[in-house]
Structure 1
Amino acid sequence: MIGIIGAMEEEVSQLIEAMEEKEKVTCAGMDFYCGKLKDKEVVIVQSGIGKVNMALCTQILADRFDVKAVINTGVAGGLYKDIEIGDIVISKDAVQHDVDATVFGYKVGEIPRMDTSYFEADKDLIELAKKTCDEVNPDIHSYVGRVVSGDQFISDNKKKHYLINEFDGYCAEMEGAAMAQAAHLNQIPFIILRAISDKADQEAAGSYEEFEKAAIKHIVRLVLGILDRM
């Protein structure tokens, strides 16, 4: 069983509609749709926005559905200089940029008393996602890089450049690293896929509304392509 998580309805609705033999299981206020997609056994769920929702959702996938891999799909703000709206970031790893225990000698982003704070995506899934994206989305570019997550919508240049300089972030969003941490603790392979809907700057809110649908079209095509090739 493969778990597929999106924070918002629009990030998973097209995938749920394409499922076959699906049934719904509700847990912790989330609807988990189990069935087949591209002849693969999958469970697709809308987690809700933010790190707590995402971590809880991932743990339910581990405990109740015994998933063997997790794909987190959605949109994000672009950070890396060459990334354009509509392009896709495939996670090399993920970190929570809003974790700050520096008063105790930790670096910003480091989670106290954990073995790591930079959670690495599965190398086979990275390779598959990159190859697939180049094939199914030839009209855009895809990049393998770091996803930085926090309970903040990034919409100013000062914070954007901080995330680039401090974390070498390729995109910023609000859930991925929480899924990555939960998957890491449960020893579940994962990948985070993010279509760029804005540039995480002063124009971010307006750009997001305008370009979200186009970004989701690319990410849905990628997820379906990955499942088709697994």
Structure 2
Amino acid sequence: MKIAIIVPMDVEAEYYKNNFHSDKKEMFGSTVFEHFSINNNDVYLGLSGIGKVQAAMNLASLLTAVKIDCIFMTGSAGSMDKDVHKEDVILVDEFAYHDAHNANAGDYVEGQIPGQPARFKLESAQRNDFIKYLNENSIDYRRGLVVTGDSFISSEETKKQIKANFPDALGVEMEGAAFAQVAYQFNVPLIAMRAISDNADDDSGEVFDVFVKRVGAKAAKLISNYLEKMN
């Protein structure tokens, strides 16, 4: 299989780079993808960059050039739920844009881009296999909605506004829905994991740098172990 692993920042890619030998490097979009092998799978590791445009551009550039069979997206998120805590792992069921407000432009709901689904649901046989792996190995994780926007959420007031529109949201971040939209258009399965680095509140800026590397390594280790064991 050809598998893409994409993370927003270099600190979140360190685990892969330290544990797997890169055969070659190729430029797609504005980012360099390192190409290596895990358990006879061709793996392309790249940085999405931060924000929706960077994420969409770099993933679309890769998918246009390479026939990718499955995408793993990892990274960090801020918690949007009182029962979701720092270092918790969210296996994303669906993404939506928290900064898309088009209800007055037609028959659209909050978070929906015209012409696109209201929410991007991540359903595939590949994802089901990964869920089976998590369950068989007694790995703790949460499942649910994660919302995406182009701003780092670091105030309780903003968090409450988002939560009012998406009361079922577990996390908030800056790339996921853009990834999901591109994967949907290219019809490529997407498996997305976000590990909580902060509470998306007034203290987020102070704790993000402390936790982002730690949670990035946690998510990377899970995916790497899975790829090493998959048939």
Fold in common (TM above 0.5): yes
**CA separation in 2, counterparts of 1:74 and 1:202?**
21
Give, in angstroms, the shift of residue 89 of structure 1. Answer: 0.5
SS of the counterpart of 1:98? coil
- Report if aligned partners of 1:137, 1:218 keep a CA contact under 8 Å in 2: no
Q: Structure 1 residues 146 and 21, CA, compared in 2 at 3 Å: closer, same or farther?
A: same
Question: Where in structure 2 are the equivalents of 1:86-97 lying within 5 Å?
Answer: 86-97=87-98
Q: CA RMSD in A?
A: 1.9
User: Structure 1: 5+ residue runs without aligned partners?
Assistant: none
CA distance, structure 1, for counterparts of residue 169 and residue 199 of structure 2: 12
The corresponding residue for 1:177 is: 177
Task: Find the aligned partners of 1:81 and 1:120 in 2 and give their Cα distance.
Answer: 23
Q: CA deviation at 1:174?
A: 0.3
Rate the CA distance shift 1:144–1:22 in 2: closer, same or farther, 3 A.
same
Kindly report which structure 2 residues correspond to 1:1-230, keeping only aligned pairs within 5 A, or say none.
1-20=2-21, 22-105=23-106, 106-114=108-116, 116-133=117-134, 141-167=140-166, 168-230=168-230
- Same amino acid, percent of matched pairs: 30
Superposed displacement of residue 146, structure 1 = 0.8
Distance (whole Å) between structure 1 residues aligned to residue 85 and residue 133 of structure 2: 19
Q: Give the letter aligned to residue 228 of structure 1.
A: E
- How big is the shift at 1:161? 2.7
Judge which range, 99-108 or 80-89, deviates more: 99-108
Query: Could you say what secondary structure the match of 2:74 adopts?
Result: strand
The CA deviation at 1:118 is 0.8
Report how many residues are paired: 227
In the TM superposition, residue 14 of structure 1 has moved relative to its aligned partner by 1.9
Q: Where does structure 2 lack aligned partners over 5 or more consecutive residues?
A: none
* C-alpha separation in 2, matches of 1:70 and 1:178: 13
Contact 2:30 2:58 (8 Å CA) reproduced? no
User: Within 1, Cα distance between the matches of 2:203 and 2:138?
Assistant: 26
Q: Report the CA distance between 1:48 and its aligned residue.
A: 0.8
Q: Cα offset for 1:113?
A: 2.3
Q: Tell me the TM-score normalized by structure 2.
A: 0.90
The one-letter code matched in structure 1 to 2:161 is Y
Alignment-mate amino acid for residue 71 of structure 1: F
Give the partner amino acid of 1:204.
S
Offset at residue 32 of structure 1 (A): 1.1
Q: Does the Cα contact within 8 Å between 2:78 and 2:200 map onto a contact in 1?
A: yes
Whether the 8 Å CA contact 1:92–1:144 is kept in 2: the answer is: yes
